[in-house]
Amino acid sequence: MSRVYNFAAGPAALPLEVLQQAQAELVEYPGLGMSIMETSHRGKTYDAIQQEAQANLRELLGISDDYAVLFLQGGASTQFSMVPMNLLPPGGVADYANSGAWASKAAKEAKKVGQVNFAADCSKEIPTRVPRLDELRLTPGAAYVHITSNETIAGSQWKEFPQTEAPLVADMSSDILSRPFDVNRFGLIYAGAQKNLGPSGVTLVIVRKDLAARAPETLGTMFRYQTHIDHDSLYNTPPTFGIYILMLVTRWVKAQGLENLYRRNVEKAAKLYAAIDGSEGFYKGTAVKECRSDMNVTFRLGSEDLEKQFVAEATAAGLTSLKGHRSVGGIRASIYNACPVAAVDALVSFMADFAKKNG
Ligand SMILES: Cc1ncc(COP(=O)(O)O)c(C=O)c1O
């Protein structure tokens, strides 16, 4: 069997070099005589892996000592609850920019903890978009402001982040490590690993240390950021194998260079959007042009039947997982860091052929 071009939204394609190295080290990690999966999370070998994963992330994103880099479990969905549990005090207000399905889910969980203000709400608009900076109505004295940097389902992305007085919290699940940005603008960043960072099962949290101290005393131990800061993500058993793969991915990103990857991501997305815009209406992009995501390219065809045919024929041609999210339909090509340019070129060529035959 040969590897297909995988456009899955997450879990998503991983760099081939990472998979090959993991394969080579799977049964016997160098110098250990066993798999990394079989060794203690408190041993020297695993410790070096976790330290390197943290150090690589710090280097790649310029994360200062004011922030902790944590590897947690429960996915980004657990962070929807942990963020307000730790940062939203009784009587406080949290501002949420509602840009789509993922921001809505985050806000829904925050409402269970305290008061939520929608600083802007374009979650139901079609074409899809993220709020403009000038339409954000922020609450003076808000506990924090929450954004979703990339709406994976809608295919929309913040190109510029708001300047906020309150700590800015971002769900960066689907675009972390795809572009350089200033971490210092944020109070807390979280991301499920399964798109740009590694396998599912690891959640990255980058949190300004002073914010973690805000959690109420009554909050359960595992739900407190402070616990994981105090124990360097080793309070309980972390997902060691996932963190090992994440470390290999950060090594790979360092070797590529984050700026280079960013440039390549923009080029990949531009090729697909050009194929959509140049199709004389055969393909229609679903996001407002200024908000088009460089990670998830979403579009529609003339009918659902034609979309089904598109997905089936693409799959047969080795271009897989192009079906849009079940809640919105259409087509979605997820083109994260590990998606090679050749995959995008193959898809562009397939799209042109398909339009010619069916237009
Ligand atoms: C932007 C965004 N936030 C949150 C989630 C949920 O992540 P998890 O499955 O890790 O809980 C996803 C999953 O696709 C996502 O794309």
Tell me the per-residue pLDDT of 197-234, one tens digit each, with 9 for 90 and over.
999 999 999 999 999 999 999 999 999 999 999 999 99
Name the E strands within 85-223: 93-98, 115-121, 144-148, 150-151, 156-157, 168-171, 188-192, 203-208
Closest-lying ligand 1 atom to the alpha carbon of residue 203: 10
265: CB partners within 8 A, 6+ apart: 178, 179, 294, 295, 335, 337
pTM score: 0.98
Distance between Cα 41 and ligand 1 center (Å): 26
Asked if residue 155 has its Cβ within 6 Å of ligand 1, the reply is: no
Whole-number Å distance between alpha carbons of 190 and 170: 6
With a 6 Å cutoff on the Cβ, whether 171 touches ligand 1 is yes
Active site residue 44: no
CB of 79 shorter than 6 A to ligand 1: no
CA atoms within 13 A on the CB side of 209: 10
Instruction: Give percent of the chain above pLDDT 90.
Output: 99
Ligand 1 atom, smallest distance to 74 CA? 11
Nearest protein CA to atom 4 of ligand 1, as residue: 76
Helices (H), 208-294: 209-212, 225-230, 240-256, 258-277
Residue 263 has a pLDDT of 98
Mean pLDDT score of the chain, rounded to an integer? 98
Centre of ligand 1 from the C-alpha of residue 68, in Å:
21
Q: Answer yes or no: is pLDDT of 1 > 80.
A: no
Best of 174, 194, 205, 332 to mutate for ligand 1, by most ligand atoms within 8 A of CB? 174
Per-residue pLDDT, 196: 97
